[in-house]
Amino acid sequence: MAGLCESLIGPALCQSVDFYCERTSASFFAEPLNAVSNLAFIVAGWLAWREFRRDPSRHDDPSITWLIVLMPIVGIGSLTFHTFGTQWASWADVIPILFFMLLYLWLAMQRYLHWPIGVSAIALLAFLLSTLALERFAPPTLLAGGAMYLPTVAACLVIVLAPIDADRQVRRIIALAVAQFLVGFTLRSLDEPLCTTLPIGLHYFWHLSNAVVLNLLVYAAILHGRTRREQAWPA
């Protein structure tokens, strides 16, 4: 299998990686909990789709549709990484969640914050470049390789702390999503330091936590649109 991968992709991208406590070999199912926990993203996507379908007038909203579609893709990408455990699979893990964050940040800046398109575009570009720079240049030991998520933490805090155009329930859901993300990020960062004490690690909690986070963020966007329409056209 390794020889086929190297002939098709190249030896650099087929190199095995060992980032997490649970992986103790290069075998396909060396991270069972880290792999299986990605099913939570599929469940989260299904729950979001079910909520979305409750509102027929929103079925033509491409932003929310794509966010929901990306949720199981995030899970599949992460599952790929935590089974194959190679450099090329790490990009299958990173790229879908990056696309989700870019799309949600754009939605947040336009619908919650009402920033001008030019300002939103500059902010989105800054987010992307800083994320890629940290992924490329940050030491692997910094936050257990999670330094690339620092711009996401900053963006989430901006959304929560800024005066957004949303009712109280939507604001609470977004704040809960950010709090959940910080909890998951903390557990992710503790995976390696606690490895000797807890050999199975903690990284699977990062997956479970992020599935909840994505579901809450999409639910907030659905609820926000529903509330806007109810205010515009009172019964």
Which CATH number belongs to the domain containing residue 55 in this structure?
Answer: 1.20.1070
- Rounded Cα distance between 11 and 127, Å, is 31
Q: Which domain holds residue 174?
A: 30-228
- Helix, coil or strand: residue 86: strand
- Chain segment 3-24, per-residue pLDDT in tens: 556 555 666 677 888 788 988 8
- Chain segment 125-156, per-residue pLDDT in tens: 999 999 999 988 988 777 777 888 899 989 98
Q: How many domains does the chain have?
A: 1
**Which of these, 1, 182, 11, lies nearest to 84 by C-alpha position?**
1
- Does 20 map to a domain? no
Task: Compute the mean pLDDT over every residue in the chain, rounded to the nearest whole number.
Answer: 88
Residue 145 CB coordination number (10 Å): 20
Give 115's DSSP letter. Answer: -
- Does 233 map to a domain? no
- Chain segment 81-135, per-residue pLDDT in tens: 999 988 889 999 999 999 999 999 999 999 999 999 999 999 999 999 999 999 8
- Does 6 map to a domain? no
- Rounded Cα distance between 73 and 75, Å, is 5
- Does 157 map to a domain? yes
